[in-house]
Amino acid sequence: PAHLHITGKDAWEKITQLAAQAQAEGVPVTDKIALVLTDLEMPEMDGFTLTRKIKSDPVLKDIPVVIHSSLSGNANEDHIRKVKADGYVAKFELNELSSVIEEVLDRSMKKIDGPLISRKQLA
């Protein structure tokens, strides 16, 4: 099932709750959370912070994270790489977002590490 959260803080709380459930059931956290799709601009905790927390946690680090945002530019993309997001789609395009999510999930299932999968809308 999908879970929608408006704030990064709410998303973090749900992610840690699902991780605790997975641990109690003795299953990988990725059985409970297939992917996190986040914006960069959220109240209480931004997408950079949420992604950094997920990717720096030994239990959560294998959860794929895709960032979708209207914020673009080299500085933002560099920061997205630093927080170790798995995918990035600038200026929401449904087909591009779908393509990136598919690639990130495929990599995750095959346990393949790779560079940031990025789609930029050309001017």
Q: What is the CATH number of the domain that holds 61?
A: 3.40.50.2300
3-state per-residue secondary structure call for the chain:
CCCCCCCHHHHHHHHHHHHHHHHHHCCCHHHCCCCEEECCCCCCCCHHHHHHHHHHCCCCCCCCEEEEECCCCHHHHHHHHHCCCCEEEECCCHHHHHHHHHHHHHHHHHCCCCCCEEECCCC
Q: Answer yes or no: is 1 within a domain.
A: no
Indicate the pTM of the whole model.
0.81
Q: Which domain holds residue 62?
A: 8-119
Decide if 52 is inside a domain: yes
- The total number of structural domains in the chain stands at 1
Query: Mind listing the pLDDT tens digit for each residue in 58-83?
Result: 999 999 999 887 766 667 777 888 89
In a domain, 3, yes or no: no
| Average pLDDT, 10 consecutive residues per value, the chain (123 residues) | 79 95 96 92 88 96 89 74 86 76 88 74 37
